[in-house]
Amino acid sequence: MKKKYLQWLFYLASLLILLAIAVLISLSAGEMDLSFSDIFRILSQKDESMEYTILSQIRIPRVLLGIAVGGALSLSGILLQGVYRNPLVEPYTLGISGGASLGVAFAIVFSLHQLIGSFVLPAAGFAGSFLIIFLVYTISTRNGRINIQSMLLTGVMVSFIASSSMMLLMATTSSENLHGIVFWIMGSLDEPDMSLIYITMAMALASLAASYFFVQPLNALRLGEEKARDLGINTDTVIKLLFLMASLLAGVCVAVAGVIGFVGLIIPHLMRLLVGSDYRILLVSSFLSGSIFLVLSDVIARTIISPNELPIGVITGIVGGIVFLLMMSRSS
C-alpha cells in the first residue's frame, strides 16, 4: 500500500514538473523568442516594454486558458467514461460541441456579436450546449431514472441534428460569416477577455475538487451499476450529478475556446495505461496531463507556420489521432 502511494506521488510530481516546463516553453516560444531567464526578468520588472506586453496580454492568458480548458476537457472525459463504462465516450459524443457550434453559428449569422458585443459568442455557445444537455437529460430520464444506453444514443442523434442545423445556417449565410463560423469551430486559445479565462479556470479547479467527492462511486461503477448498488451507492443520483457536471464543464470549454477534439478521449486512455484505473489518482493525473497536452499543442499551432497561426483543433486532432492509433496497434 505504501509503495502504491509513493508511486502516485511520483506521478503527480512528474506531471507538475512537465506542466511547469510546458508553461515556460509556451511563454518563450513565438514570433519573438524569449529565453527562460528573460521571462523572469521581464515579469519582475513590469515595465512598458514590448516583451512585457506580449507576455502579460498574449502569452500568459493563452497559457492560463490552455491549462483550464485542457484540464477541464480531460476531466470531463474521464468522468463520462466512468459513468458510461465506455472508453470511447468523450465530452463531444453527447452533442455538446454540436449544440455550442449551433449557438455560435446562430449568433454570427444574425450578427448578434456586432449588435450586443463580443461576449455574445461564448454566451451563445454555452446556451447551445446547455440546451443539448437539457434535451439529452430529459429524453433519457424515465420515472426519475436515467437509462445510460438511451442517453448515449440520444446524445449521438441530437448531435447529428445540431450539426445538420449548423450546416444549414452555414449554407445560407455570407462568406464573411462562414469564415468566422469555420474558424471558431476549429478552436483557438486566443481569448482577450480575462474575466472569461478566470471563470473557466475557476470552474475547472472547482470541478476537479468536487469530483473527489465521487471517487468511491466511480470506483464502484467500474464493477457495474448493479454491483455498485449492492455496495450502497445511490447510482441514479451519482450518474445524474456526474453527467451534469461533466457536460456543463465541457460546455463552458467549448463556449470559450471552440471545439477542441481528442483531449477528452486520448488523455484518459493514456493515464489509465500509466497510472492505473483507480480514480483517486486518475482524476488529477488526467487534469494535469490534459493541461500539458493543450499548452504544448498551442505552442505548435502558434509556431509551426509562424507568423500565421493554425487552429489548435487541427493540432489536437492530428496528434491525438496518431497517438490513439499507436495505442490501439500496441494493445492489439
Which residue's C-alpha cell is 436515467?
A: 146
Say if residue 189's pLDDT is above 70: yes
Distance in angstroms (rounded) separating the CA atoms of residues 311 and 292: 17
pLDDT tens profile 130-169: 888 888 888 887 766 777 777 878 888 888 888 888 888 8
pLDDT tens profile 248-290: 888 888 888 888 888 888 899 889 888 988 999 999 999 999 9
- Sorted by where each begins, the domain ranges of the chain are 2-331
Domain 2-331: CATH superfamily, name plus number: ABC transporter involved in vitamin B12 uptake, BtuC (1.10.3470.10)
Which of the four pLDDT bands, split at 50, 70 and 90, describes residue 247? confident
The amino acid at residue 98 is: G
pLDDT tens profile 83-142: 888 877 887 777 787 888 888 888 888 877 667 766 777 888 888 888 888 888 888 877
Helices in the chain by DSSP H: which ranges?
2-28, 36-45, 50-54, 60-84, 96-109, 112-115, 120-140, 148-171, 175-185, 194-211, 215-221, 225-230, 235-257, 263-275, 279-303, 312-331
